[in-house]
């Protein structure tokens, strides 16, 4: 079975690249060869392992000279030729912005088209707010309807419901498949492993470590957690809250400036660059906090839950699938640092966290394993090939 992954570009420190890595890893050992057609593949020292893995795990690569949503005719013809030479059976594209080119290529080559939907938001805080509120306008709906794939994969129940309501005639073509994570790797640590991890990062036993993994851009809600931490520090200094921010990004300086406005603020916030293996930081943490404005699924929440770490997140994509309220975590409203502070204060009680921890682990094992992802993706690939 020959599958072509088609994507405008790959940023090796973001969630889409993690999804692609997990997709390939989940189907190792199956009778599948993955191929890759993409624009730039960007990585730095902290994410080069993922780049190396993706490149070494695909059988062949076709690289575009650019990453435009509508590529040149020359690029399209080159991909068509690549598909014919490699005898590609399924075109698996990532992102709705590729729908036009991917649909044209699939029709010319006579291969089925699958598109995975990964919503994201970028830009300054005002643009992020606008994108978070914005629904598909009439032009986007016409575009999607015209170039709707044979199967649209969404990762969350929120997005499945949204697309089914917007495109009722295509509802049968919408399939929800959760992103999978390595449950064996992201496991509950032993007492020694947890102690070693906290010592490595210099965390004291009395600190409550609230960790936010994600690119340092406004979409992830760093500003909401920063405000919540300052509320808690003023209201409940006995909790001794520390916020660990793990990630890089274009808004890093602005976010750091917002967090640390005076010397006392420095004791509240810890910044680390992107790290590819999040396990040690998760083991060292007490809570996973993700007050995002826009999410597709948030693989890091599934990884955290697999380690027994209790998440607090906003009701963006993936929340319905991940959070059973007060059983596997908590959801808080968008743009509400006071409610986030309340949730953190409640879960500062170690007995409450411990009562939820095993629930998180079991839920992650049941819903978000690589094995589940592999089974569902393999069935889907076989189905679209047989129906072609």
Q: 232 falls in which pLDDT band (50, 70, 90)? A: very high
Which value, to the nearest 10 degrees, does the dihedral of the CA atoms of residues 331, 337, 339, 345 take?
90
Q: Is the dihedral of CA 133, 273, 54, 318 positive or negative?
A: negative
The mean-pLDDT minimum among 125-134, 146-155, 219-228, 320-329 falls in 125-134
Do 314 and 221 form a contact (C-beta atoms < 8 A)?
A: yes
pLDDT tier for residue 90 given thresholds of 50, 70 and 90: very high
Q: Do domains 2-180+369-387 and 191-367 have the same CATH topology?
A: yes
- How far CA 108 is from CA of 6, 33, 72, 252, in Å, comes to 15, 22, 16, 44
52-87: pLDDT as tens digits? 999 999 999 998 876 666 778 888 899 999 999 999
Q: Which own/partner pairs from 309-316 qualify as long-range (CB within 8 Å, at least 24 positions apart)? A: 309/282, 309/285, 309/357, 309/360, 310/347, 310/353, 310/356, 310/357, 310/360, 311/287, 311/360, 312/287, 312/288, 312/340, 312/343, 312/344, 312/347, 313/288, 313/289, 314/221, 314/290, 315/158, 316/158, 316/292
Contact 35, 64 (CB under 8 A): no
Answer whether 154's CB lies under 8 Å from 163's CB.
Answer: yes
Higher pLDDT, 98 or 130: 98
Q: Which of 92-101, 129-138, 142-151, 289-298 has the lowest mean pLDDT?
A: 129-138
Closest CA to 250 of 276, 214, 281, 291: 214
Band the pLDDT of 178: cuts 50, 70, 90: very high
Euclidean distance between CA atoms 125 and 41, whole angstroms: 26
- Paired with 243 in beta bridges are 210, 269
Lowest-confidence region among 65-74, 175-184, 207-216, 224-233: 65-74
Residue 70 is predicted with a pLDDT of 76
Reply yes or no on whether the pLDDT at 132 is more than 70. no
CATH topology of domain 191-367: Rossmann fold (3.40.50)
So where are the chain's domains?
Answer: 2-180+369-387, 191-367
Q: What is the DSSP string of 222-264?
A: HHHHHHHHHHHHHH-GGG-EEEEEE---TTHHHHHHHH-SSGG
User: Residue 125: what pLDDT?
Assistant: 74
Percent of the chain with pLDDT over 90: 74
pLDDT at 161 over 70: yes
Structure confidence at residue 250 (pLDDT): 75
282: burial class by Cβ within 10 Å (0-12, 13-18, 19+)? buried
The rounded mean pLDDT for the chain is 92
For residue 307 the two structure tokens come to 């380690």
47 vs 331 pLDDT, higher one: 331
CATH of domain 2-180+369-387: 3.40.50.2000
The stretch 240-252 carries a mean pLDDT of: 90
Q: How far apart are CA 350 and CA 357, in angstroms?
A: 10
pLDDT digits (tens, 9 = 90+) for 276-319: 788 999 999 999 999 999 888 999 999 999 999 999 999 998 99
* Highest mean pLDDT pick, 31-45, 61-75, 228-242: 228-242
Alpha helices in the chain (DSSP H): 15-26, 48-57, 73-86, 99-109, 125-133, 138-146, 157-166, 191-201, 222-235, 252-259, 279-284, 299-306, 319-322, 337-347, 350-367, 370-387
């Amino acid at each position: 079975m020959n599958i072509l992954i088609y994507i405008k570009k790959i940023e090796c420190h973001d969630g889409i690249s993690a999804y692609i890595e997990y997709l390939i890893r989940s189907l190792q050992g199956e009778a599948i060869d993955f191929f890759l057609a993409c624009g730039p593949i960007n990585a730095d020292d902290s994410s080069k392992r993922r780049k190396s893995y993706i490149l070494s795990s695909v059988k062949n690569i076709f690289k575009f000279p650019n990453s435009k949503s509508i590529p040149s005719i020359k690029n399209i013809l080159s991909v068509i030729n690549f598909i014919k030479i490699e005898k590609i059976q399924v075109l698996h594209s990532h992102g709705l912005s590729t729908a036009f080119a991917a649909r044209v290529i699939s029709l010319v080559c006579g291969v089925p088209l699958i598109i995975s939907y990964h919503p994201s938001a970028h830009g300054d805080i005002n643009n992020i707010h606008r994108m978070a509120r914005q629904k598909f306008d009439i032009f986007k709906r016409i575009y999607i309807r015209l170039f709707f794939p044979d199967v649209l994969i969404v990762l969350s129940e929120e997005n499945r419901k949204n697309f089914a309501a917007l495109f009722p005639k295509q509802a049968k073509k919408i399939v929800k498949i959760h992103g999978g994570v390595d449950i064996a790797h992201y496991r509950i640590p032993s007492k020694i492993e947890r102690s070693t991890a906290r010592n490595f990062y210099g965390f004291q036993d009395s600190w409550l470590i609230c960790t936010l993994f994600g690119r340092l851009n406004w979409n992830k809600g760093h500003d909401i957690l920063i405000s919540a931490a300052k509320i808690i520090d003023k209201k409940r200094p006995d909790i001794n809250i520390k916020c660990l921010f793990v990630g890089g990004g274009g808004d890093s300086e602005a976010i750091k400036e917002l967090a640390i406005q005076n010397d006392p603020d420095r004791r509240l916030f810890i910044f680390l660059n992107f790290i590819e293996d999040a396990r040690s930081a998760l083991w060292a943490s007490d809570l996973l906090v993700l007050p995002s404005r826009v999410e597709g699924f948030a693989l890091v929440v599934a990884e955290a839950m697999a380690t027994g770490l209790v998440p607090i997140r906003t009701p963006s994509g993936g929340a319905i699938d991940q959070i059973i309220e007060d059983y596997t975590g908590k959801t808080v409203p968008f743009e509400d640092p006071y409610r986030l502070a309340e949730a953190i204060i409640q879960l500062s009680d170690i007995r409450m966290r411990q009562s939820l921890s095993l629930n998180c682990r079991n839920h992650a094992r049941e819903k978000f394993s690589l094995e589940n992802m592999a089974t569902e993706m393999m069935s889907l690939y076989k189905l679209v090939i047989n129906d072609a």
